[in-house]
Amino acid sequence: MSVAITTPSIERNDIASPDDVAELVRRFYGAVAQDELLGPLFNDVAQVDWSEHLPKLTAFWCRVLFGLPGYQGNPFAKHRDVHLVSPFRQAHFVRWLELFEETVDDGWAGEHADSMKLLAVNVARVHSSQLTGEMVEWPAGST
């Protein structure tokens, strides 16, 4: 007699509130700050003050995801300034997207989670195209 062993699936809720967005941003940029490729850009080149930056990023994602007011800024200008000091490569955008999707998939599932991943791809493609002259390929290796 064989017994099937099943692992219980972990139920993941959708991103439903600004608190969910804040948690996702915290987890994601925690991974970014520790990442071998991205960490030096954020920590050493851009010298990001995370206590100031995380609320801005949360406001950005709340605006694009839920249409909430509160975000003011120009994300491209900040990336352009970093690029002038230490040029971005395609690998930076691919890694950023890998970490973003992993973070979303590890904690959330649903319409807003999918929308957030698609928005992240669009942000990476625009920034990549404008900064490097090449649009990032996503999923990685696609044409």
Give yes or no for residue 117 having a pLDDT over 90. Answer: yes
Joined tokens for residue 140: 């990685």
Domain extents in the chain: 18-132
Where residue 4 falls among pLDDT bands split at 50, 70, 90? low
Under 8 Å between Cβ of 94 and 77: no
From 1.10.490.10, 1.10.760.10, 2.102.10.10, 3.50.50.60, which CATH number describes the 18-132 domain?
A: 1.10.490.10
Task: Report pLDDT digits (tens) over 19-76.
Answer: 999 999 999 999 999 999 999 999 999 999 999 999 999 999 999 999 999 998 888 8
Confidence label for 12 from pLDDT (cuts 50, 70 and 90):
confident
The pTM assigned to this predicted structure is: 0.88
pLDDT at 114 over 90: yes
